[in-house]
Amino acid sequence: MKEYRDHYFLKAKRENYPARSVYKLKELDAKFHLLRPGQHVLDLGAAPGSWSLGAAEKVGKKGLILACDLQGTTTTFPPQVIFIQEDVFNRSPEFENMLADYGPFDLVISDMAPSTTGTKFTDQARSLELALEALHLSNLHLKQGGGFVVKIFMGPDIQELLTPMRRLFVQVRSLKPKSSRSESKETFFVGLDFRG
Ligand SMILES: C[S@@+](CC[C@H](N)C(=O)[O-])C[C@H]1O[C@@H](n2cnc3c(N)ncnc32)[C@H](O)[C@@H]1O
């Protein structure tokens, strides 16, 4: 239990975010200048809702966050966040309509993670599938010039993600945020300037 009550856990509690993961988004934004007022953002794997809250602060009232997750959430969001319970691999017509209505997006952010099995290769393979689906949705719904952030558990097949990312984005960068737990194998890749 102790490891969960670390600096970022306590900071998130103090600052009223439902999860410490918001600080990873803040680090990514500080480094790559991703979020701006008025943007439309697609947040994949959004529950319990820290990234959506953090992104909503930056895009402001004129922006919009379309957030989806397999799981529901009890987080209270500001009006610019629209949360829908949804599996990215099995998208409902309602979600497809929202993607069309609120898109194209300035930014797609994916913090999706599989429920871990403890078997490293299985977890990495599932994480890669989620990252590829997030990339697929970016390709369909990003504006030209838009950005993409994706979390992945690093594994030997990482080029399966990076090769198509390099084709779709002018720049591909990476960051392992300080706020990630040190034992975590997660890394974030950022695609900048979607070629469209
Ligand atoms: C680390 S959590 C996200 C935390 C979130 N970014 C926040 O700041 O509150 C990873 C999420 O990915 C979601 N997820 C996993 N597989 C998914 C799928 N197929 N479709 C949608 N969400 C998925 C999980 O339900 C989980 O809530």
Domain ranges within the chain, ordered by starting residue: 2-194
Nearest CA to ligand 1 atom 13: 45
Residue carrying the six token digits 């594994």: 155
Average pLDDT for 14-28? 92
Question: Which of these, 117, 129, 118, 134, lies nearest to 51 by C-alpha position?
Answer: 134
Q: Which atom of ligand 1 is nearest to the CA of 75?
A: 9
87 Cα to the center of ligand 1, angstroms: 9
| CB-defined site of ligand 1, < 6 Å | 18-19, 21-22, 45-51, 68-71, 87-89, 111-114, 130
User: Is the distance from CB of 69 to CB of 95 less than 8 angstroms?
Assistant: no
Going edge to edge, which strands form the sheet with 64-69? 81-85, 64-69, 40-44, 105-110, 142-153, 186-194, 169-175
3-state secondary structure of 171: strand
DSSP class of residue 90? B
The percentage of the chain sitting over the pLDDT mark of 70, rounded to a whole number, equals 97
pLDDT, position 37: 98
The predicted-structure confidence for 51-105, as pLDDT tens digits, reads as follows: 999 999 999 999 999 999 999 999 999 999 999 999 999 999 999 999 999 999 9
pLDDT, position 7: 83
Q: What is the DSSP string of 101-149?
A: HH-SEEEEEE---PPP-S-HHHHHHHHHHHHHHHHHHHHHHEEEEEEEE
Helix axes 50-59, 22-32, angle to 10 degrees: 40
pLDDT, position 179: 86
Q: The pTM is what? A: 0.96
Average pLDDT for 104-116? 97
pLDDT, position 128: 98
The predicted-structure confidence for 144-173, as pLDDT tens digits, reads as follows: 999 999 999 999 999 999 999 999 999 999
Q: Which atom of ligand 1 is nearest to the CA of 21?
A: 8
Lookup: tokens for 6: 């670390």
48 Cα to the center of ligand 1, angstroms: 8
- The CATH fold of domain 2-194: Rossmann fold (3.40.50)
**More confidently predicted of 194 and 12:** 194
Q: Which atom of ligand 1 is nearest to the CA of 109?
A: 6
pLDDT, position 161: 98
Q: Is 2 a residue whose pLDDT tops 50? A: no
pLDDT, position 20: 87
Nearest CA to ligand 1 atom 20: 87
46 Cα to the center of ligand 1, angstroms: 5
Nearest-10 Cα torsion for 180, 186, 102, 86: -110
- Kindly list the catalytic residues: 151
Average pLDDT for 17-27? 92
19 confidence band (pLDDT: 50, 70, 90): confident
**More confidently predicted of 8 and 70:** 70
138 Cα to the center of ligand 1, angstroms: 17
Q: Is 1 a residue whose pLDDT tops 60? A: no
